Structure 1
Amino acid sequence: MGLFTKPIKTLEDLLVHLLQDIYYAENQITKALPTMIGRTTNPHLRAAFESHLHETEGQIGRLEQVFRMLDVEVKGVTCEAIDGILTEAKHVMSDIADPDVLQAAMLASAQAVEHYEIARYGTMIALLRQLGRADCGSVLEQTLAEEKATDEKLSKLATAEVNREAA
């Protein structure tokens, strides 16, 4: 079977796998963000992480809504990509002594997560449209917009403040 938990034979199978993948990923992110919030000394970065934690909880609810709309069991499958990104973030955080550099590293890790999420949501929306389920795609468009906005916020915070302080 390889990487996937069950054979993917159709576009619908791929869509369900991607939904399960991002559902797992979002749940892992909600577990990782409190640790990052606790390690953040920059008040603006902390606020961004706290805001995104709250958003992520809403995003999980939207994913559950799409599962129900598609009449598919709500469940996650292990996402090796997000596990890798989060494991790397933990290693980086444990290796950095300078608190300002740590802030920049956590921000960079958060952006890696955002970029993964943006890719997944964009792909799922396109698949849903192709499959004639624009109704489900519309539900996920709000999440995609939030992920892009978070990435933009983190980019601005990095250039205006966090990376400058780390330098």
Structure 2
Amino acid sequence: MKLESLRDLLVEQLQDLYDAENRLTKALPKMAKAATSPELKAAFEKHLAETENQVSRLEQVFEALGQKSKKKTCAAMKGLIEEGEETIKEDAEPEVKDAALIAAAQRVEHYEMAGYGTVCSYAKLLGEKDVLKLLKETMAEEVATDEALTQLAESTINLQTV
């Protein structure tokens, strides 16, 4: 697809995020299974449900833009998930592994926040109010997940690794 306009770029970025979110729906159950902290397991399971809704929300965004829901390979998410899988395989004390899983998950969240921040800006510039509303909803969830992970990292999980 040749990028001839900001709208084209918006669609391409959405395709990247759509692929990223779909990949994440497969990775989060593995992270939840690897977590030993009940709170961390619950956080991953909650974010899986949110991510499934985010995939649906992106499909609504494509529809609102008159586009087909289409994935463009997200190399960044592919790499972040590979790092997460390496973390899962690490030989580490349970609390240390949980701390490492949080670090991997927060890298994912920060990538997503950057991506959603960008598409929110494009949607706003293009006057796509309905699209912007949907994207802001997802952005708020990503920020909340990141904050929840930070709280877990700063609470009992990391205190046990000292």
TM-score range (shorter-chain normalised) is over 0.9
Map of 2:34 onto structure 1 = 39
CA RMSD of aligned residues (A): 1.0
Instruction: Give, in angstroms, the shift of residue 7 of structure 1.
Output: 2.7
The aligned amino acid for 1:17 is E
Task: State the identity as a percent.
Answer: 48
Q: CA–CA distance in 2 between the matches of 1:160 and 1:97?
A: 19
1:77 aligned residue (59, 72, 76): 72
Q: State how far apart, in whole Å, the 1-side matches of 2:34 and 2:90 are.
A: 13
Unmatched runs of 5 consecutive residues or more in structure 2: none
Query: In structure 1, what is the equivalent of residue 23 of structure 2?
Result: 28
1:139 equivalenced with 2:107 (yes/no): no
Q: 3-state DSSP class of the match of 2:36?
A: coil
Matched residue pairs, number? 162
Which residue is 2:2 aligned to? Answer: 7
Whole-angstrom distance in 2 between the partners of 1:137 and 1:96? 43
Establish whether residue 157 from structure 1 lines up as the match of residue 161 from structure 2: no
Of residues 96, 99, 102 in structure 1, which corresponds to 2:94? 99
Q: Deviations over 1:7-48 (max 9, x none)?
A: 322211110111000000000000001111111110000111
Q: Which of 42, 45, 54 in structure 2 is aligned with 1:59?
A: 54
Distance apart, 1:129 and its partner CA: 0.8
- Distance in 1 separating the partners of 2:62 and 2:104: 28
Q: Secondary structure at the match of 2:160?
A: helix
Q: Give the Cα separation in 2 of the matches to 1:148 and 1:134.
A: 21
Q: State how far apart, in whole Å, the 2-side matches of 1:35 and 1:149 are.
A: 21
Alignment partner for residue 88 of structure 1, among 83, 86, 91? 83
List per-residue Cα deviations over 1:52-73 (Å, max 9, x = no partner): 0001111111100000000111
Alignment-mate amino acid for residue 112 of structure 2: E
Q: TM-score, normalised by structure 1?
A: 0.94
Residue 99 of structure 1 aligns with an amino acid whose one-letter code is P
Quote the Cα distance in structure 2 between the aligned partners of 1:8 and 1:96.
45
